[in-house]
Amino acid sequence: MPRNRLGIPSASAAVVVAMLVALPSHAGTCTSPTACPTTTTAVVTAPGGLTISVPASPVSLGSGAPGTQISKHLGSTTVTDQRAVLTATWTASASATNFTTGGNTISNSAVLYWSGTATATTGTGTFVPGQANAAAAQSLNVSRTAFSKTIGSGDNSATWNPTIVVNIPALAGSGTYTGTVSQSVV
């Protein structure tokens, strides 16, 4: 086997040189004027998720005679988005059951909802009422958009005070009618 000037076989000398070249350099050593980078990380935790707070039950909408209309604010509804996401959009929805007493029913198609504009918002983005005014009220016989956030990022919230309208049928019997207005967010 051929030997180099130090008397080490040539193949062994190649391994020693390769080991010297492959040694890691110190991470914080750079020659001037080169910037010396250090990769760093920070963890952002989301303190909560996407939640909705609704008025406490029961809410009295008042009273009215057959063939008239009852209209009253339901109470503040708040969506809180603490997901800490870059695309922080959401949609809140509302629906209702039929209102009943004994054997009498007011159909949920006669129960209307309008969100109105936001009474408070936090964070960035565009907050959109489902029904900005009474003229836009929608029946709650199917799920309706109550409020939404269409663009923006990061944590946010919106509060509104929806109005519930009950069109009392002309043939409605007297009594206390009970129904459920459900609001949710996704």
The strand pairing partners of 94, in sequence order, are: 144, 183
Residues in the chain, total: 186
* 12 domain-assigned: no
* 76 domain-assigned: yes
Q: What is the largest CA-CA distance in the chain?
A: 115
Q: Six-digit token pair at 69? A: 């209309």
Chain centre distance of CA 27: 42
Q: Six-digit token pair at 141? A: 């016989």
* 10 domain-assigned: no
* 69 domain-assigned: yes
Q: What is the mean pLDDT of the chain?
A: 88
How many other CB atoms sit within 10 Å of the CB of residue 51?
Answer: 13
* 11 domain-assigned: no
Residues of the chain with pLDDT under 50: 12-25
* 38 domain-assigned: no
The model's pTM: 0.78
Segment 85-107, tens digit of pLDDT: 999 999 999 999 999 998 999 99
* 32 domain-assigned: no
Query: Under a CB-based contact definition with an 8 Å cutoff, are residues 159 and 76 in contact?
Result: yes
The reported pLDDT for the residue numbered 33 is 86
Helices first, then strands: H and E counts in the chain: 1, 14
3-class SS of residue 93: strand
First to last CA, the chain: 76
| Number of domains present in the structure of the chain | 1
Task: Provide the domain limits for residue 164.
Answer: 50-185
Q: Six-digit token pair at 43? A: 């963890």
Query: Under a CB-based contact definition with an 8 Å cutoff, are residues 170 and 82 in contact?
Result: no
Query: Under a CB-based contact definition with an 8 Å cutoff, are residues 13 and 7 in contact?
Result: no
* 177 domain-assigned: yes
78 closest CA partner among 40, 135, 119? 119
